[in-house]
Amino acid sequence: MADISVNPNISALVISLRSIGYSFENAISDIIDNSITANATEISINCNWDGINPYVEIIDNGIGMNYEELINAMVLGSKSKKEIRDRDDLGRFGLGLKTASFSQCKKLTVITKQNEKILKAIYDLEKVVKENDLTIDLTELKEFDTLEYQGTIVKWELIDTLEKKNKVDAQNYFNNLINDLEKHISLYFHRFLAGEKTKKIAINLNNIGCKAYNPFFVERSEKLPLEIIDDLNTSCKVQAYTLPHHQKVNNFEWELYAGKEGYLANQGFYLYRNNRLIVKGTWFKLRAKKEETKLSRIAIDIDNTCDEFWQIDVKKSSAEPPLTVRSKLKK
């Protein structure tokens, strides 16, 4: 018997991590989660495509990071999945900043300001792969215009999803990304944008404020009594709505609440974790999507103590109800 070290091959690991399956909007959402957890009240996302060097930056006015916190933030697995998190923490795995960024770009820069100290850390994946070593370049900056007070900038460069395309295709692709991102943020962060059940946060995308899109059309829908499902490990609130029939609303409202995929596809459960939408329009394989239930939408609220039982994934884009909850949801 011998203990044989089987440490990961860093280059191969980092390249594979890039394919974990994030969409552009899920990746941005993971970065927004971090800003919200850092108590930001304003988040600005600037997506810039000049045909040569596209970049994306997410700027927040949150609490920022000190030297140790910044180094720790750049570690893959900076916190254990098992660690007890603050009640409002949107994180779980200690991975999102890195995995979301790597899925989209080869250069990640984090600039952060706390107590007048400005620090900058760069992950250059081309260097990491070449040297087969996970290192960051960390420097202290004397000043940095964008961070007037306190907060953090996450910047993505060498966005190779765009580099592969020709100039016209890339421009169209980029414009579509921004349109889809705006819709995604308006829906997945609608409670934060409206200050509904939680703190209010402004999110600007290329200098335009995102507006909350509440998928339940609460002003006009029929609201059923709130139900609470409690079991040993998890507790959740279930709020069902029946959206108004076509004849009871004007065309604009009908189309607006249909959403891009339409009423049939968008029926079902909407799972919120700490007020952030995780999964939308699914019956969790409890039943099929049917024409007669196309106006039914049901909000489920869980908090971050339930992550394990709901099988929340690293990308915060999939979940499964625990067995005991499934049977109650089916009813």
98 binds, among Mg ion, ligand ATP, none (CB under 5 to 8 A by kind): ligand ATP
191 part of the interface to ligand ATP, by CB under 6 A: no
- Is 196 in a helix, a strand, or coil? coil
Contact 47, 206 (CB under 8 A): yes
Contact 214, 190 (CB under 8 A): yes
Distances (CA, A) of 220 to 88, 214, 223, 257, 259: 30, 12, 9, 11, 16
Which tokens sit at 307? 């992550």
62 part of the interface to ligand ATP, by CB under 6 A: yes
Please say which residue, 152 or 266, places its beta carbon nearer to ligand ATP: 152
Please say which residue, 119 or 210, places its beta carbon nearer to ligand ATP: 119
Residue selected from 65, 177, 271, 295 as contacting ligand ATP according to rule CB under 6 A: 65
79 part of the interface to ligand ATP, by CB under 6 A: yes
The nearest distance, CB 291 to ligand ATP, in angstroms, is: 38
Parallel, antiparallel, or unpaired: how do β-strands 276-282 and 268-273 relate? antiparallel
Instruction: Note the residues at the interface with Mg ion (CB under 5 A).
Output: 34, 91, 96
303 part of the interface to ligand ATP, by CB under 6 A: no
60 part of the interface to ligand ATP, by CB under 6 A: yes
Question: Rounded CA gap, 128 and 11, in Å?
Answer: 7
Q: Quick one: which segment of 8-16, 64-72, 207-215, 281-289 binds ligand ATP (CB under 6 A)?
A: 64-72
The nearest distance, CB 111 to ligand ATP, in angstroms, is: 10
Residue selected from 27, 28, 73, 193 as contacting ligand ATP according to rule CB under 6 A: 73
Instruction: Tell me which H or E stretch contains 126.
Output: helix 125-131
Question: Rounded CA gap, 118 and 116, in Å?
Answer: 6
Residue selected from 152, 221, 239, 296 as contacting ligand ATP according to rule CB under 6 A: 152
Instruction: Report the site for ligand ATP in 21-40 (rule: CB under 6 A).
Output: 30, 34-35, 38
Instruction: Report the site for ligand ATP in 86-125 (rule: CB under 6 A).
Output: 91-98
The nearest distance, CB 63 to ligand ATP, in angstroms, is: 6
β-bridge mates for residue 46, sequence order: 57
239 binds, among ligand ATP, Mg ion, none (CB under 5 to 8 A by kind): none
- Is 28 in a helix, a strand, or coil? helix
- Dmax over CA atoms of the chain, in Å, equals 75
Please say which residue, 36 or 238, places its beta carbon nearer to ligand ATP: 36
Parallel, antiparallel, or unpaired: how do β-strands 222-223 and 151-157 relate? unpaired
Instruction: Report the site for ligand ATP in 157-176 (rule: CB under 6 A).
Output: none
| Backbone φ, ψ for residue 157 (5° rounding) | -130, 175
Q: What residues contact residue 265 under an 8 Å CB cut-off, 6+ apart?
A: 259, 281, 289
Residues in the chain: 331
Q: Which residue is nearest to Mg ion (CB)?
A: 96
Interface residue list for ligand ATP (CB under 6 A)? 30, 34-35, 38, 60, 62-65, 69, 73, 78-79, 91-98, 152
